[in-house]
Structure 1
Amino acid sequence: MTQPLRGILALVLVVLVWGTTFPAMKDLTATFSPVWIILVRFAVATLLLSPFLWRARRADLAAGLLLGLVLFFCYLFQVEGLALTSSNRNAFITGLNVLVVPLLGVLGGRWPERRIVLALVLALAGLAALCWDGGAWGRGDTLALLGAFCFGAYVKLMESRTRRAHRLLGVTAAQIATVAACAALWLLVGEAPHGTSAEAALYWRHIGASLAGYWPNFAYLGVVCTAAIISLQAWGQARTSANEAAVIYAFEPGAAAFFGFLWLGEAMSGRGWLGAALLISGMIISQWNSEGRPAAALAPE
């Protein structure tokens, strides 16, 4: 088996694992608040990636801190939206982040290429078909779209920061640790009880019991979907072209829809799959023959 083929197979596995994160987190939203899901997932991943964190240079830590702040809000919007809509619909809307980067270029005075205009038309048509299939546009969809814009801005920021990185995994470990720290601070300020000791004790007992019951879900999200898959993604991207990676990544929402059906029983009609196909087509067209972004794609989904 050739190295490029091994790289392609590695990235296919990456996308399949990414696809499971949407139903996995959706399953948890019935018991945990979004910020708890973010905190536990990224705290587990931080522990596993801590060797890279301790060896990171100061410049890499600073870059990771900035990127982690943006990434925290990416996940806050995404998981808040997951609690209010289906996992497959959330995944397809989140996938629109690949179109945000060229749109940000428009704000900087760069008009989009014709392929970007075509990709936007296909994406909008796909969203219309998805909404026609799954009901009117709701608050969960708006939050998912805000998450997509945040992810797009994050990728744009990461492109510039990672070009100057000494060790990419050091930057990645720093930003994952920052996401966990931001989630902990958000939790303590905005969600944890500040009343009587009895209320606090009841709250923490409930959280402890829930974490004990759902530890396999969090272990999977933190160990496999976040820590392990980053290493595999970096290995696969080093052996494939940017276009090959772009096409493979575009099928992540499709993988999420597949696992959403297996995991949660979520199903889409023919109109929904038509919208999915239009969205995926727009994502592929938007990325085809674009500039290489091996570093910018290293973001846990």
Structure 2
Amino acid sequence: LPLAIAGLALLSLRNGFTPDPGQWYFLGAAVLLSFTFILNGRAAARISALALSAIQLLVVGMFCLLLSALTEDWPDTITPTMWLWLILSLTIGTSVRFLLQTYAQGLTSPSHAAVIMILEPVWTTVLAFIWFGETLSASQLAGCSLIFAALLVNRWRAVQKLLRGR
């Protein structure tokens, strides 16, 4: 855990630790997501991934729609392109991804799934580098390396078996 935290700090902290409200919201969301992740993994082992995903997405979607209606300004007109991107976001970007994640979580223990998910910031950084041509500083490269090292340390027995050819 200390390696992963140090790696995440190197990836995200630029000018020291001066948290703004957005970072505190992100921390709160991460804590809540960890609880969701554990509960979702346990439930996915007993309930159909499709039913579990549908229930969760429906509840969150209805809550967010209500919250959006109460707090946000909506456009006067919605173009066909906007509808297309909304539908693609709802289906591919959210529903299919969430269904696959829930199904996969049902196949393994929450601790194994969490170890796999620890690589998310690394993949995000690598894909931003490849897709958007982002430049990576030495500290960001070190951060990715530390997060990957944390995964190897956590799974060291499995790595040793793999290296021995078992």
Give the TM-score range, shorter chain. 0.5 to 0.7
d(CA) in 1 for partners of 2:81, 2:16: 34
Aligned length: 147
Deviation at 1:271, TM superposition (A): 1.9
Deviation at 1:131, TM superposition (A): 5.3
- Which residue, out of 174, 179, 192, partners 2:64? 179
Unaligned runs of 5+ in 2: 156-166
- Which residue, out of 117, 125, 131, partners 2:6? 125
1:119-138 CA-to-partner distances (Å, cap 9, x unmatched) read: 1x334433443356xx3259
8 Å CA contact 1:130, 1:275 repeated in 2: yes
- Which residue, out of 143, 146, 151, partners 2:30? 151
d(CA) in 1 for partners of 2:102, 2:60: 16
Q: What is the aligned partner in structure 1 of residue 124 from structure 2?
A: 256
d(CA) in 2 for partners of 1:214, 1:261: 28
Identity of aligned residues (%): 21
**Matched letter for residue 143 of structure 1:** G
Deviation at 1:171, TM superposition (A): 3.5
Q: What is the aligned partner in structure 2 of residue 168 from structure 1?
A: 52
Deviation at 1:256, TM superposition (A): 1.2
Unaligned runs of 5+ in 1: 1-118, 193-202, 289-301
1:235 and 2:103 equivalent? yes
Q: What is the aligned partner in structure 1 of residue 76 from structure 2?
A: 204
Deviation at 1:224, TM superposition (A): 1.0
**Matched letter for residue 204 of structure 1:** D
**RMSD between aligned alpha carbons?**
3.7
d(CA) in 2 for partners of 1:261, 1:204: 37
Bigger relative contact order, structure 1 or 2 (CA pairs below 8 A, ≥6 apart): 2
Instruction: Report the more deviating stretch, 227-236 or 167-176.
Output: 167-176
d(CA) in 2 for partners of 1:238, 1:260: 29
Deviation at 1:272, TM superposition (A): 0.6
Q: What is the aligned partner in structure 2 of residue 225 from structure 1?
A: 93
8 Å CA contact 1:122, 1:281 repeated in 2: yes
**Matched letter for residue 3 of structure 2:** L
What TM-score, normalized to structure 1?
A: 0.38
